[in-house]
Structure 1
Amino acid sequence: MSIAIGIVVGLVLGLTGAGGSVFAVPLLMFGMHWSLPQAAPVALIAVCAAAAFGTVTAWDVSYVRYRAATLMSALGLVTAPLGLVAASAMPGGMLAGLFAAALVIISVRMLLQAQQHPEETQVVRASVAGDGAPAGGPICRIHPGSGRLLWTRACALTISAIGAATGFLSGLLGVGGGFVIVPSLRATTALSVHSAVATSLMSIALTSAGTVLVSLLMGRPMLWAAALPFVAGALAGMFAGRSIAPRIAGPRLQQGFAVMMLAAAGVLMMKSF
């Protein structure tokens, strides 16, 4: 069972750069009859391994914006322990309810964004003058030649805020944070959806690894017998997902991911009640 769940998680993560632990946690809770605190660290280990594999495969095509991913991860590792402490003080039903509410909000926003941009035209090749983004444009622009982010103060603060929020949610809910990173990067930067996905994968890998380490140091249990086959399944699913993803239009990926998040939210709401 854990291998099958891992394949589903890896496939979703490979296609969207997000949602691995979003689906891993409810699937493990129902499929393995675990509580959220039991499922969260196992989900993070599998997501970390699959995201690291996805980052390597995306590196050759220059999708990964490694400076942004590293900055987000650094801030995430600072706030992850705060999320772990908050999770320890909250009942399981409340945690599941918060998880579900976050999924609904983000999935609705992603559906609206995909409708506003029916074609993938997000790679805006424009330069920035001064320290902030021009009115009406994304906060983080990209270099017209290299495709790399143009780092301004506003851009750095925005990327840092995304990382801090991701780390806190990683500790609180046991998620890699891709369901926050991908839509946030799409809303605030000129990166294409495929570049946002690849950058999200690197950040997820680093943040998840750090969160798992902090969790173990804090004495949280780890069910290794189920975690290892789960990781193997996630890697297999990631390989398949990264092979398929370039053939699918960006907005279609967003719509599919949003629908799956709504389904996961419904499952978690039933669990919380």
Structure 2
Amino acid sequence: MLLASFFGVVMGLVLGLTGAGGGILAVPALVLGLGWSMTAAAPVALFAVGSAAAVGAIDGLRHGLVRYRAALLIAALGAVFSPVGIYFAHQLPEKVLMILFSLLMVMVAGRMLRRERKDEGPSDHGHANWGQKNCMLDQQTGRFSWTAKCTATLAALGAVTGVVSGLLGVGGGFLIVPAFKQLTDVQMRGIIATSLMVISLISAIGVIGALHAGVRIDGLGVAFIASSIVGMIIGRKLCARVPARSLQVGFASVCLVVAGYMLLNAAL
């Protein structure tokens, strides 16, 4: 119980510090730290990540940063496609799931380590005038201009996020954040807040689907989930005091080490 609580706090802390994507450590914490199988760890990880993300999303809503219409659209498509991922998770061998998850962690680490070019962009409340993207903010209202192209883009993002979250038990922040940066003109603080809302919604849908399929969460799982919420709150308070680049490098390094260990376990 103590070990589960410790891993939960660490996962929530990382999620709070990184804003999104840190939840990818939840499954390795349960698989490597507590010896669970991938299929047993996935719903508990989703529940923990979703609960912790909800804390951050509520904070973002309070400050008017969440693009809630976009978040609801992405989550709705995630709800439709998440069961597809859950189905394949129960069909694939444990070793294959571990390899897929390890490769995913390597991909996330690579993106974190790559230095990004800083472009001047609009604020979170309009001034969308610095280069056409799929989803642009209206200068008058500060909201997305809901064109067919924008709607289709966000719907496709939701579908992919839903499948991946159901398959590997991750919230999908590592997909949503870079996609929003590439395809919209929302600033980073708005992207993170919106991502956390999507993660919380998609995770909740995935958990409901898993519970409906007969998965049960025991006392260790509950301790992990509760501790992750505590870690998230602490992380949100500390994130402004830690240099962003240090967070990225540290998080990426942890991902690479964990991915290597999971690949080794899969090979053995």
Q: TM-score, normalised by structure 1?
A: 0.87
* Equivalence for 1:131: none
Equivalent position of 2:156 in the other structure: 161
Residue 84 of structure 2 aligns with which residue?
82
Match status 1:152 vs 2:147: yes
What amino acid does structure 2 have at the position aligned with 1:115?
A: E
Structural mapping, 1:1-273, within 5 Å: 1-112=3-114, 114-117=115-118, 121-123=120-122, 125-127=126-128, 137-144=132-139, 147-220=142-215, 222-247=216-241, 254-273=248-267
CA-based RMSD of the aligned residues comes to 2.3
Q: Deviations over 1:55-85 (max 9, x none)?
A: 1112122221111111111000100111111
1:9-44 per-residue CA deviation (whole Å, 9 max, x = no partner) reads 111222223234410111111111111111111111
Unmatched runs of 5 consecutive residues or more in structure 1: 129-133
**How far apart are the structure 1 equivalents of 2:258 and 2:55?**
24
**Residues 193 and 250, structure 1, Cα contact 8 Å, conserved in 2:** no
The CA deviation at 1:256 is 4.6
TM-score if structure 2 supplies the norm length? 0.89
Unaligned runs of 5+ in 2: none
Report % sequence identity: 41
In structure 2, the CA distance between the partners of 1:162 and 1:17, relative to structure 1 (3 Å rule), is farther
C-alpha spacing 1:264/1:189, structure 2 compared with 1 (3 Å): farther
Deviations 1:224-268 (A, max 9, x none): 211211122111111112223345566665555444433332232
Amino acid at match of 1:116: R
